[in-house]
Amino acid sequence: MNQDSKIYVAGHRGLVGSAIARNLERAGYTNIVLRTSSDLDLRDRNKVFALFGQEKIDYVFLAAAKVGGIASNNDYPADFIRDNLLIQTNVIDASYQTGVQKLLFLGSTCIYPKLALQPLKEEYLLTGELEPTNEPYAIAKIAGIKMCQSYNRQYGTKYISVMPTNLYGPNDNFDLETSHVLPALMRKIHEAKERGEPNVEIWGSGLPRREFLHVDDLADACLFLMNHYEENEIINIGVGEDLTIHELAYLLKDVIGFSGEFTFISSRPDGTPRKLVDVSKINSLGWKARIPLKEGLKSTYQWYIDHHKILSPK
């Protein structure tokens, strides 16, 4: 990409999109197109095509998506599959119809089979059953991958699909009903500390293992791949290391300064037993994650403290 290329970041208010927009600005890109969801409903084909026709976009980072944790995926499966299919289809097709030079599609490691061998290699896609609690979301993301690959094959486009591991960082969703495990734990432990509560209940056994990538590292990887990767196959983005939810809770306890204890509710669903991605492919291209987990948790917690009066009113 040239510094003055017209770059559209879809979903720039979210965790991933906001990090990509920050990264592009820091790298000196000056022609960034941004639209809020109130300005542009990406589920509306006519409005999406109107934007692309008007702006003459060169590059697209497709970070817009309906996302959530186990509870919201379980409660609203129709919303997750419908909204994500609509967003992806409209943006990818509009990119082709208006001559976008390259598109980067943000997938998710939930596309891999629930019981796949660890670490998760890119070739494990579609080799087994998905995790039931987020199957509709995963199927939507797989459809996005296949749409990019199909457009590449039929139309000669350059659309790449990246699979980030579990993410965290500034602008994350800290709503206890819809958030992922790390921000939910951070908020619960913080609020227990503020109230002087002696115990925090955590869903699940604490045994599942998860890998966590700071969203600024992801944004750096996306910019790197947009400039250096053109293969049709998907590519993982991660750290290559994981830890149990139990270990994460105690790491957060230390970062937050909570003096109480935890009770793990094993009757609640655990989700996938382990999700560690194989990052040998992206590492071989010359990119590696740089932000250590504890350092990233400290900066994310500070961001939460600075914003939590808005995010979690009493």
Give the active site residues: 137
Amino acid letter, residue 253: K
195 is in an annotated binding site: no
153 is in an annotated binding site: no
How far apart CA 12 and CA 35 sit, in angstroms, is 7
16 is in an annotated binding site: yes
128 is in an annotated binding site: no
Long-range contacts of 27-34 (CB under 8 A, 24+ apart): 27/223, 28/3, 29/1, 29/3, 29/4, 29/5, 30/3, 30/4, 31/4, 31/5, 31/6, 31/7, 32/7, 32/8, 33/6, 33/7, 33/8, 33/9, 33/57, 34/8, 34/9
Cα angle: 21, vertex 23, 25; to 5 degrees: 70
Per the CB < 8 A criterion, the answer to whether 10 and 62 are in contact is yes
Amino acid letter, residue 31: N
What is the per-residue burial (b if ≥16 Cβ within 10 Å, else e) of 213-249?
bbbbbbbbbbbbbbeebeeeebbbbbbbebeebbebb
203 is in an annotated binding site: yes
190 is in an annotated binding site: no
167 is in an annotated binding site: yes
303 is in an annotated binding site: no
193 is in an annotated binding site: no
132 preceded by cis ω (within 30°)? no
270 is in an annotated binding site: yes
Strands (E), the chain: 7-10, 32-33, 59-62, 102-106, 159-164, 166-168, 199-203, 209-210, 212-214, 235-237, 243-244, 261-265, 274-275
280 is in an annotated binding site: no
13 is in an annotated binding site: yes
132 is in an annotated binding site: no
Burial class (CB in 10 A: 0-12, 13-18, 19+), 265: exposed
106 is in an annotated binding site: yes
232 is in an annotated binding site: no
Q: Binding site for NADP(+): residue ranges?
A: 11-17, 106-109, 141, 164-167, 180
Q: Binding site: residue ranges?
A: 11-17, 106-109, 141, 164-167, 180, 188, 203, 210, 270
Q: Binding site for substrate: residue ranges?
A: 188, 203, 210, 270
